[in-house]
């Protein structure tokens, strides 16, 4: 058995489980931030798809040009 510390108390944990749990812990919060950005993008794309009747009338080329000039 492997001795692990949790909330200041020592507990016994199997040798094979503790390293697996340790390896799955996130090191930074960047992953969560990327996921939320990806989720926001997916939500925005979904809205565009749902509102197709409005997006069909948009001049997409003009929108592309405006965004390309920003960068």
What's the whole-number mean pLDDT along residues 25-47?
Answer: 72
pLDDT for the residue 9: 55
Domain count, the chain: 1
pTM of the full structure: 0.34
What's the whole-number mean pLDDT along residues 8-20?
Answer: 58
* Residue-range definition of the domain harbouring residue 22: 2-70
For the chain, the distance separating the N- and C-terminal CA atoms, rounded to the nearest angstrom, is 57
């Amino acid at each position: 058995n492997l001795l692990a510390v949790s909330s200041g108390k020592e507990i016994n944990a199997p040798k094979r489980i503790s390293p697996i749990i340790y390896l799955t812990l996130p090191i930074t919060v960047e992953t969560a931030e990327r996921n939320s950005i990806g989720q926001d993008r997916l939500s925005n794309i979904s809205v565009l798809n749902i509102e197709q009747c409005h997006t069909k009338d948009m001049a997409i080329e003009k929108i592309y040009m405006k965004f390309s000039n920003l960068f």
